[in-house]
Amino acid sequence: MNSKPLMAGLIAALFGAVPVHAAESLVTYKTLSPEMALDLANAALTDCRTRGYQVAVAVVDRFGATQVMLRDRFAGPHTPVTATGKAWTAVSFRTDTTDLVVLTQPGMPQAGVRQLSAAVILGGGMMIQAGGFLMGAIGVSGAPGGDADDLCAKAGIAAI
């Protein structure tokens, strides 16, 4: 007796009884539009200007890809790379960079994060969240300290 047809029938019956939905294998997520990312960056830059700071502002999407980079005319040449690094770090580790300053101190379980070449562990990188979704992150560089960078980033986020 050939058991292959019987086995094939059993397998078909078994899998036929368990519905397989194509939709379950798809992931849906929200992301910032380029216009929204630009509005956010402009608001952060404007806030920094009113405080007397010349900065660069970067906005990255939820995957860490840069959507917007703005550099004020007198911001240092290091600020675009630093702002982008802060935004990338915040979205990559799902943690604002000011919090990472504390969490990655020597002797802490996450101290190794500081050894990653792309990670920038300085204040000024903040996650952008809306409706329970991580939308991306903003990074600000050039104000006199991470706390001042954070204030500009918060103003940008509040604007959208």
Q: What is the pLDDT of residues 90-121, one digit of tens each?
A: 999 999 999 999 999 999 999 999 999 999 99
- Regarding predicted confidence, which is higher, 11 or 120? 120
Q: Which residue has the tokens 């660069």?
A: 56
Name the band, by pLDDT with cuts 50, 70 and 90, for residue 4. low
* In contact, 52 and 60? CB cutoff 8 Å: no
pLDDT (0 to 100) of residue 18: 46
What contacts 127, CB < 8 A, 6 or more positions away?
Answer: 90, 91, 94, 95, 96, 134, 136, 137
Q: Considering the entire predicted model, what is its pTM?
A: 0.84
